Structure 1
Amino acid sequence: MNTAYHVVGVVAALWIGFSAYSIVTRQAFVAEPLVEYGVPGSWWNWLGLAKAAGALGLIVGFFVPAVGIAAAIGLILYFAGAEITILRARSYKTLPFPLLYMIPAIATLVLQLAV
Structure 2
Amino acid sequence: MFTAYVAVTVVAAVVTGSAAVTYLIGHDYPRAQLDMKRLPRTWGPRLGLVLAAGSVGLLVGFAVPPLGTLSAAGLVLYFVGAITAHLRVGSRQLVGPAVFLAVCVAALWLSLSR
TM-score bracket, shorter-length normalisation: over 0.9
Distance across 2 between alignment mates of 1:24 and 1:91: 24
Cα deviation, residue 24, structure 1: 1.5
Alignment TM-score, normalising by the size of structure 2: 0.95
SS in structure 2 of the partner of residue 99 of structure 1: helix
- How many residues align? The count is 114
Distance across 2 between alignment mates of 1:28 and 1:100: 21
Alignment TM-score, normalising by the size of structure 1: 0.94
1:38 and 2:38 correspond: yes
Cα deviation, residue 96, structure 1: 1.9
User: Partner letter of residue 101 of structure 1?
Assistant: F
SS in structure 2 of the partner of residue 59 of structure 1: helix
Distance across 1 between alignment mates of 2:77 and 2:61: 17
Distance across 2 between alignment mates of 1:91 and 1:109: 27
- More displaced stretch, 54-63 vs 25-34: 25-34
Q: Give runs of aligned pairs for residues 52-63 of structure 1, distance below 5 A.
A: 52-63=52-63
Q: Among the aligned pairs, what percent are the same residue? A: 39
Distance across 1 between alignment mates of 2:100 and 2:27: 17
Structure 1 stretches lacking a partner, 5+ long: none
Q: Give runs of aligned pairs for residues 1-115 of structure 1, distance below 5 A.
A: 1-92=1-92, 94-115=93-114
Ranges of 4+ aligned residues in structure 1 off by more than 4 Å: none
Structure 1 residues 55-104: Cα deviation after superposition (integer angstroms, max 9, x where no partner): 00101111111101110010000010011111111111x22211111111
Distance across 1 between alignment mates of 2:33 and 2:94: 11
Cα deviation, residue 26, structure 1: 2.2
Structure 2 stretches lacking a partner, 5+ long: none
Higher helix share: 1
Residue pair 2:30, 2:44 contacting (<8 A) in 1 also: no
